[in-house]
Homo-oligomer: A and B are copies of this chain.
Amino acid sequence: MNPLYIHDSLSGEKKEFTPVNPDFVGLYVCGPTVYSDVHLGNCRSFTSFDIVYRYLMYKGYNVRYVRNITDAGHLEGDADINADDKMAKAAKALKLEPMEVAHRYTLGFHKMMDVFNNLPPSVEPRATGHITEQIRMVQDILKNGYAYEVDGSVYFDTVKFAKENAIYGELSGRKLDDLQAESRELKNQGDKRHSADFALWIKAEPTTLQVWESPWGLGFPGWHLECSAMSTKYLGSEFDIHGGGEDLKFPHHENEIAQNCGACGKSPVRFWMHGNMLLLNGKKMSKSIDPETGVSNSVMPDELFEGKSPFFSKPYSPMVLRFLMLQAHYRSPLDLTDEGIQAAEKGYIRLMEGQRALAEMKYEGEEALTSEDQQVNALMERALKDMDDDFNVPKALASLFVLVNKINSFKSGRASVNAISKETFEKLQKFFADFVFVIFGLKDETQGGDEGSSEIVDGLMEFILEMRQSARANKDWGTSDKIRDTLNALKIQLKDGKDGTTWTVNN
């Protein structure tokens, strides 16, 4: 196996990856808070880590992929006290029990992950499902002297921890002095000793909807706690990779490290991976209405798929969006624009057509080894090396497009497929399909429909193309025009090539 290098956000370095545990690679990704529909920015982040998961499996690792569902304890503005609870707010607005809200948006989230063709994780633990484990972790932190209880709430003693542990602030670059300087202007510190402290367990108010019994009375866990408790439970106190969006570095991940160190005495994660933002027309997405334009700089996945966003000239399919995401490295920002996604649509169709042409191509005749063979092999190696270099998907994709050019030249007859060896040809077929479907997780939408239907469409199209050919041969222009109009109306595009006519559906 070629070595894999991953950029670790904590050390800021690209390091060779070796698993902590010989049996499995532990991958933990912060999942959604299920109080509303999932955002497009979240979808980018989950898709980036889906490709990490897929590529690790492709390399032969047995991966235990844990992605949590936050269904309690997440307060507005990522505050840890004195703010509305996101679940409770949604429950009141929708007149539902909080767990009905959680279930509704968990289902919606799963559906959206399916739409993007993201694989489900191996375990999907819920915050509410791990109260005993979280309470236990708070007890351990208390025992180790890094937390204190005040009136039914328990706070992490950041000042003490930071004094004794140089790791505090490493991930986010926000050191304690800066936090204390910031805090002079802050209010609402509640019973905290220091403004940089954060809540591990929060005492319930009489109106709190989600409460559990604890050694400190009725309450609920702080948001940061669940990830520490659940990653430890399913992956151990030290595991391989922890992923999440850039915006989670502080306070969420910084505090996770503090909690894990505070409870278990060691830094939990070998590789911290952070995905960059998805921008819309060069600006951060935001739900707030721009007074000048009267619209908010945001777009939801369904709006994009259904063509209902004012920022886009037409609908774009989920696979086109996935393809767009492949075009940027996960650590770079990605700007979503109408022009950009239109170009991605063309690229996606081109890649799929290349894949299909290659899959249907037959190697015939003799081998005439040329420099072509070396080039094809070098391109395949290049793509794998790029993936091994911190999952450089856009670079690997570029090599695939050079290969598409080669495939097209074989197909059109401009070059002979015999210029490469039979072995290379077969390797290329497998390599290409693996990259497109297994690693990149694309589906071929250009052939349209589910299997049953698409069989029928294929059968009907085969018949219609025969009719068209015989109408043309008989100079029956009436029939051939009628076929053209029918197919146009159904957005079916024909392409006449040397091996006959092929067709695609333009969605």
Contacts and interface: CB of A to CB of B under 8 A. Distances in A.
Interface residues of A, number: 49
A449 interface: yes
A463 interface: yes
Interface string A65-106: 000000000000000000000000000000011011011100
Contacts of A126: 126, 129
Interface string A465-501: 0010000000000000011001001101000000000
Given A450-B453, A457-B453, A125 B107 contact: no
Given A123-B97, A123-B99, A449 B456 contact: yes
A448 B456 contact: yes
A460 B490 contact: yes
A461 interface: yes
Contacts of A452: 448-449, 507
A356 interface: no
A15 interface: no
A128 interface: yes
A103 B121 contact: yes
A130 B96 CA distance: 19
A461 B490 CA distance: 12
Contacts of A103: 120-124
A455 B490 contact: yes
Contacts of A120: 103, 107
B136 A122 contact: no
B132 A129 contact: no
A454 interface: yes
A103 B129 CA distance: 13
Given A120-B103, A132-B213, A212-B132, A234 B460 contact: no
A464 interface: yes
Interface of A: 64, 96-97, 99-100, 102-104, 107, 110, 120-126, 128-132, 136, 212-213, 234, 448-450, 452-457, 459-461, 463-464, 467, 482-483, 486, 489-490, 492, 505, 507
25 contacts: A64-B97, A64-B100, A97-B234, A99-B123, A110-B110, A126-B126, A128-B129, A129-B129, A131-B131, A448-B453, A450-B453, A452-B507, A453-B457, A456-B457, A456-B490, A456-B492, A456-B505, A457-B457, A457-B460, A459-B489, A460-B461, A460-B464, A460-B486, A463-B482, A467-B467
A-B pairs, top 7 by smallest CB distance, nearest first, are A449-B453, A129-B129, A453-B453, A460-B460, A459-B490, A463-B486, A99-B123
